[in-house]
Amino acid sequence: MIRFSATPVWAIRQMRIVLVVVLVLVVGRSVVRVRRRVRFLKKRMNRLLLGTLLTYCGHALAQGDRPMGDMVYIPAGSFVMGTSEEEAQRLAGQYAVHPGLFLLEAPKRTVELKAFWIDRFPVTNAQYAAFCKATG
């Protein structure tokens, strides 16, 4: 499976708005001229959209590729997430807070996670700055 960064939806919307504005401006012209102009604009917008999408696509990693750095592989599995009402009441009494604070994590449920890689140690500001500089 290949992963990419998020698609810039704002760019697509902006191009559609430009097309509508251009169509409104050329309404007074003949239908043939309008159709030719729309075809021309669609071709240009498709090229612009393709360039924008390629610009915003991230570096793809195959599912099995091991990232660089001191990272640890976490296998797929499940864990219990959240609190039950009984646990919320017990914790509220133990910490002398309102039980609603712990009920924000309700309901208690089992969550399945896919396998992933994670850094062994937290990322420092300097490492993050180097990453930003390297990836733009």
Domain ranges of the chain: 9-56, 71-127
Question: Are the beta carbons of 17 and 45 closer than 8 angstroms?
Answer: no
Residue 46's pLDDT is what? 73
pTM exceeds cut of 0.95: no
Which stretches of the chain score pLDDT less than 70? 1-34, 38, 49-68
How many angstroms separate the CA atoms of 18 and 24, rounded? 10
How many angstroms separate the CA atoms of 3 and 58, rounded? 8
Extract the tokens encoding 20. 């509508």
Tell me the Cα Rg of the chain.
26
Residue 61's pLDDT is what? 52
Residue 42's pLDDT is what? 75
Query: Is the backbone of residue 69 left (phi > 0), alpha (psi -120 to 50) or beta?
Result: left
Average pLDDT, the chain: 74
